[in-house]
């Protein structure tokens, strides 16, 4: 692994295109969680703004695109993209894959396709449906639509952060849940 990676912070490394490594301790893990929560809040806010445009289906298309970018961004912060996992030692890779199976995560270490993004959004389907219906009610409905979209995207992001955290904790503990 590149020694410069250890001297720059993880956010700078991600922006420079460097591969982030799996957090080596709980301090780095907490930092990955903090950075990921910032990403989730920003992306949720941007995606929810699409609810203001009264074009049928636009908000769903934006939500799908947002999830397709959000999940890999969170994975990257934890060192859990397919490329990052590939660069781990074989023993570490095994621990990561074992923890992914134990936790039941379908999004860690995977490329997120449109179909996967749609499945993720189905987990918050009630909020999405209410969001679509409410946006056609003048003013208050649009505000509710934005709030529901924001909450749904934050929910998806925070659930994924919890899964990533559990995978890293599993590897830090040497394979003990």
What predicted TM-score, i.e. pTM, was given to this entire model?
Answer: 0.78
C-beta of residue 22 within 8 angstroms of C-beta of residue 172: no
pLDDT in the model for residue 155: 92
Question: What averages of pLDDT result for each successive group of 10 residues across the chain (177 residues)?
Answer: 43 51 94 97 88 70 89 96 93 92 85 80 60 51 73 92 95 81
The length of the chain, given as a count of residues: 177
pLDDT in the model for residue 17: 47
pLDDT in the model for residue 20: 66
pLDDT in the model for residue 154: 93
pLDDT in the model for residue 5: 40
pLDDT in the model for residue 15: 46
Q: Choose among 140, 130, 126, 157: nearest CA to 44.
A: 157
């Amino acid at each position: 692994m590149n020694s410069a990676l250890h001297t720059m912070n993880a956010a700078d490394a991600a922006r420079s295109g460097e591969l982030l490594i799996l957090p080596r301790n709980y301090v780095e893990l907490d930092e990955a969680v903090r950075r990921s929560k910032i990403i989730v809040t920003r992306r949720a806010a941007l995606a929810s703004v699409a609810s203001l445009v009264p074009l049928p289906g636009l908000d769903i298309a934006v939500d799908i695109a947002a999830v397709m970018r959000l999940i890999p961004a969170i994975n990257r912060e934890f060192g859990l993209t397919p490329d990052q996992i590939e660069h781990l030692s074989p023993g570490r890779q095994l621990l990561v894959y074992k923890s992914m199976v134990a936790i039941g995560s379908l999004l860690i270490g995977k490329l997120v396709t449109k179909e996967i993004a749609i499945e993720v959004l189905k987990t918050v389907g009630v909020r999405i449906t209410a969001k679509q219906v409410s946006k056609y009610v003048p003013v208050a409905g649009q505000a509710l639509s934005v709030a529901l979209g924001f909450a749904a995207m934050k929910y998806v992001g925070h659930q994924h952060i919890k899964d990533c955290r559990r995978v890293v904790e599993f590897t830090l503990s040497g394979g003990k849940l």
